[in-house]
Structure 1
């Protein structure tokens, strides 16, 4: 059975979206479905087009609600439809809301991104090459898979460590601090808006840690 990952596409140019949907569906295979990278033969990428909404808050909310595994965002987001935000500002807002969430930028303006150090070059791809070159398409799609896998492994590791530490809550300040740190990472990875603020957490006395544990359990169960 193939592992399926949902990939959001955010672009105001419908012709580009249509091309990206085709390239994402190919994943790491050729046009006949033969794997170009055997390592990724059992993965399926499902493209999901996201309509542009009025502001970044609504866009981020849409991404959270759809429970996507990653997104690909156009750098400018202004060639066909007038919006008040750029792809970069949306990506930054999404980073604040979903800790560690895989975000990729497709652009023809790489120099702007690198000069201003807005994104790791690992996560930036040239649109024309992605559409026109099998090697570039396979490289981006394989990186999508790897980033999603990395994010999921991190989440599982945090949960396992948290579960191992919960019985030791109140044992020491170090243990309680680590519990709060792991809780923050898990909450922000699922939805940063619901996270308990760090100042409030630091104000928790050891005897109140059970309130936090209850909240953590609810978050993990609802995921």
Structure 2
């Protein structure tokens, strides 16, 4: 019987080190691996002509080697890369979502909101890497501990609309004593629009009537934030 030389998988021990990310992780630890090598572990295998590391490098090149940009990719975006089918795209997206939740704190520990930095940290698991705009509220008790964070509106790339009635309904149902408003700017723009300012003032007036004060309004971006309270708008 003649030997088929069209494709013979190389044994692991004969591979170059860069093609053996699992073994590298075991020997040197996870911090020693590049982003591409970590992705290669996720996808598990490459193609006839490309190793898993080669495929992963192609994925990283497609997002300019920016892991935050990779987290914004959808299934169809990922499948544009050679060697990535639906199953592998889903695996990568699941890993990115786990990374987004890395700052979650166990629910049995109450988080205190003492500053705008605390607000930003509280919202990172919810808003980091989002490609569309969302409007959230953080409900606080009298000790400024977080009762819960709630998404009240999900919009498009350029904006979202929130319903004041929904905001205060959530606050009343959860017996909140204070409310923090948060919405993200996927564009990275750290500036309050006229609409942002008008909405904040409208909600502040309504909150004062209901004895549910609006304590701050934070504009969230992946690289920083804008706090109405810090800027003296309140």
- Considering the TM-score relative to the shorter chain, is it more than 0.5? no
TM-score, normalization by structure 2: 0.25
TM-score, normalization by structure 1: 0.26
In our comparison, the structure showing a higher alpha carbon Rg is 2
The structure whose residues are more often helix, as a share, is 1
Of structures 1 and 2, the one scoring higher in RCO (CA 8 A, sep 6+) is 1
